[in-house]
Structure 1
Amino acid sequence: MRRVSADRAATPPEDAPRPIRVLVVEDSHLIAWLLRRWIEEEPGLELAGAAKNGEEAPALAAKTRPDVVLLDIEMPVMDGLQALPLILDACPSARVLMVSALTQRNAQMTFEALSRGAADYLAKPEPANGGSSSPRFRDELVAKIKAVAQSTVRSSQRFGDASRLGPDGSIAQLRPFSMVVPRLVTIGSSTGGPNALTNLLTPLRNALHRVPVLITQHMPSVFTAALAERIQEVTGLPAKEGEDGEALRPGHIYLAPGERHMVLAPGDKPTISINDAPPLNFHRPSVDLLFESAAGVYGAGVLAVVLTGMGSDGTSGAKAIVEKGGNVLVQDKCSSVVWGMPAAVLEAGLASAEGPPLRLAETMRMLLQGERL
């Protein structure tokens, strides 16, 4: 059998894409070892370096210039929240993924980190679910590293154009707006969603008192409760996890509990239904299920928004809303951490507007007030 020299084997083809360089900042020897091993084993990834606490990380980031930093929350000497701004100052191009244990305190610190510039987060699984060595955790870690590394600052397009480029480069047409005044707002989000949600909802605090708001954000249960608290804090509106059998109230914001589906049940007074049905297209909670149930109950009175996230969850639900005469808005590529879910809706020709959260908020305000667009 012909042998290949080590130098030749280590040299990638000239047209091969540059590997994604990852810096690991983690105090646990076991978890750090697992993260390093997974990065080294995964094609397309490269270990840039490893630090055992937040104090070491900024200098190492400046030296190694990573594309992605995996930053633990709780560490000795300096924790992840303290280290985050120093890392971003040392290497502004790096995308930081917070790695957090499933505790209420860590969830709150994670959301604070997201507000300070972290791109997204990754929850460490509990020991009962295989702990940090679980295959699911590995797969999610690799997927998120690749997703956030590919999202770079892009030149924004003028809001209000009659068309947009879809993910495949083809022209994606925007639909005309339905002029039915919305009676319900539904929102779907995933990777990068917490910041997008607060940016979208904060300017709408005075416009949402007429309608209930239902949100499906892909995240674990401990995190959804903390996210509801944060949304209530920035909007001043009551926000909580939805409860089974709960009647909808205007001016209230309901989040799907982590790892459970939230849908609407019809009736004289529509109510929330929470269930543990199997994941739909790998997602529980599912944006599609929420949107489809909303279309069935509120028809043309649904205003839906699809924000940043991997995959295509929300596309079939958006189709159901459009078929009933409702409106669907999507986040643009420039402002998305990962332009997957909004891109799928746009490419399917289901969106009436595309833009960053603040511009979408203005469009929502006008629709809620019955203004013509």
Structure 2
Amino acid sequence: MTIRVLVVDDSGFFRRRVSDIINSDGRMEVVGVASNGREAIEQNELLKPDVVTMDYEMPVMDGITAVKNIMLQRPVPVLMFSSLTFEGARVTLDALDAGALDFLPKNFEDIATDSAQIKRLLTDKIAGVARNQTRVSKPIATKSTIKSDLSKTELIIIGTSTGGPAALQVLFKALPATFKTPIIIVQHMPGSFTPAFAERLNNISPLAIKEAVNGDVIKSGHVYVAPGGMQLMVDRRNGGSIHIRESDPRVNYRPSVDIAFASAAKHYGANVLGVVLTGMGADGREGARLLKEAKSHIWAQDEESSIIFGMPMAVIKEGLSDEILALTNIAGRLASDVG
């Protein structure tokens, strides 16, 4: 079935450029365009697209307000375009809070090396969000029958991608201030976004949350966000520390959950809890395999509460998950079972 897309942007040039890329992909077609948020709401009702691509800065009505109204009137997957700046990151995070599923930098050349890569980035994102309508997370029973023994856990690593910013806010709002086991977050995100994202999490959580820097000592009760565009590894020696490195260009994800998991398996052995949340693709699967070989534990978010079930599903299908949990159950289980 062809994916029907509504393109929203106040720039006629950008609307044409995005439309040409979409229409060149046999899986999808542009069924309409809009130049502001108000038109976007009207066209969404009239044309009933499967996906909306949305700019954030427009006349008449901005993109965030439009997303909020779309989610109230006719919810549909929204892919936001954003600028790669600190302020652009804040706006994009606001859009994700409003209900947008994912985002892409508006200046494609910032993230791609050639036109073929630009086309693939955009169309694969559209195809990915089209497969997933917005879901509402709600508590359900744990799907495992035997709880893992997590009393010796020294480090928690959470890996996520699409849907992660919203999921992590739910989780960290619910963790108590008394929670002491250090946590590392690996969220697929550009380097200009992770400082603003860490700031946002820190503002809503009772825990101390910051963007990780090379040489950080891993402290009790602290949370570290892997910087975008780089790779994060951990070392247990000297009380535990974080190492940030330039990424090999052959690695698709920067930061990569697989790389963080692998370093934890090497240095922490059986004393790690890996948590795989919502996200496209399979990043985390091979790292989870290494953690399991080291006798560590893996939790995966369930399908019902995941915006995109790709990453958790990849771990579950390989038989690597010890437990499958609803998003709203994870914080409570961490508080009751870890340490």
Question: TM-score under structure 1 normalisation?
Answer: 0.85
Deviation of residue 176 (structure 1)? 5.8
Residue of 225, 229, 237 corresponding to 1:267: 237
Residue of 201, 209, 216 corresponding to 2:172: 201
**SS of match in other structure, 1:58:** helix
Distance 2:21 2:108 in 1: 19
Say whether residues 1:350 and 2:332 are aligned partners. Answer: no
**SS of match in other structure, 1:160:** coil
Paired residue for 2:83? 101
Paired residue for 1:143? 124
Deviation of residue 191 (structure 1)? 1.0
Residue identity in the other structure for 1:39? I
Aligned pair count?
A: 338
Paired residue for 1:8? none
Residue identity in the other structure for 1:202? K
Residue of 2, 5, 8 corresponding to 1:25: 8
Distance 1:154 1:232 in 2: 25
Residue of 112, 116, 141 corresponding to 1:159: 141
**SS of match in other structure, 1:325:** coil
Report matched runs for 1:35-50 at 5 Å: 35-50=18-33
Paired residue for 1:112? 94
Measured against aligned partners, the alpha-carbon deviations of 1:40-63 in whole angstroms (never above 9, x if no partner) come to 111121212100111211111110
Residue identity in the other structure for 2:88? N
Of structures 1 and 2, the one scoring higher in RCO (CA 8 A, sep 6+) is 2
Measured against aligned partners, the alpha-carbon deviations of 1:108-146 in whole angstroms (never above 9, x if no partner) come to 111112112111222223656569x84433212211111
Larger Rg: 1
Distance 1:112 1:106 in 2: 10
Deviation of residue 279 (structure 1)? 4.6
Confirm or deny: 8 A CA contact 1:98 1:120 kept in the other structure. yes
Name stretches of at least 5 consecutive residues in structure 1 with no aligned partner. 1-17, 163-173
Deviation of residue 367 (structure 1)? 1.6
Residue of 180, 186, 192 corresponding to 1:222: 192
Measured against aligned partners, the alpha-carbon deviations of 1:150-185 in whole angstroms (never above 9, x if no partner) come to 1136899953334xxxxxxxxxxx886234432111
Rate the CA distance shift 1:27–1:74 in 2: closer, same or farther, 3 A: same
Question: TM-score under structure 2 normalisation?
Answer: 0.93
Q: Among all aligned residue pairs of Structure 1 and Structure 2, give the percentage whose two residues are the same amino acid.
A: 38
Distance 2:29 2:59 in 1: 26
Q: CA RMSD in A?
A: 2.2
**SS of match in other structure, 1:197:** helix
Confirm or deny: 8 A CA contact 2:150 2:337 kept in the other structure. yes
Rate the CA distance shift 1:55–1:261 in 2: closer, same or farther, 3 A: same
Distance 1:345 1:226 in 2: 29
Rate the CA distance shift 1:279–1:365 in 2: closer, same or farther, 3 A: farther
Confirm or deny: 8 A CA contact 2:143 2:324 kept in the other structure. no
Rate the CA distance shift 1:112–1:309 in 2: closer, same or farther, 3 A: same
Residue of 49, 53, 58 corresponding to 1:66: 49
Distance 2:115 2:284 in 1: 28
Confirm or deny: 8 A CA contact 1:26 1:53 kept in the other structure. yes
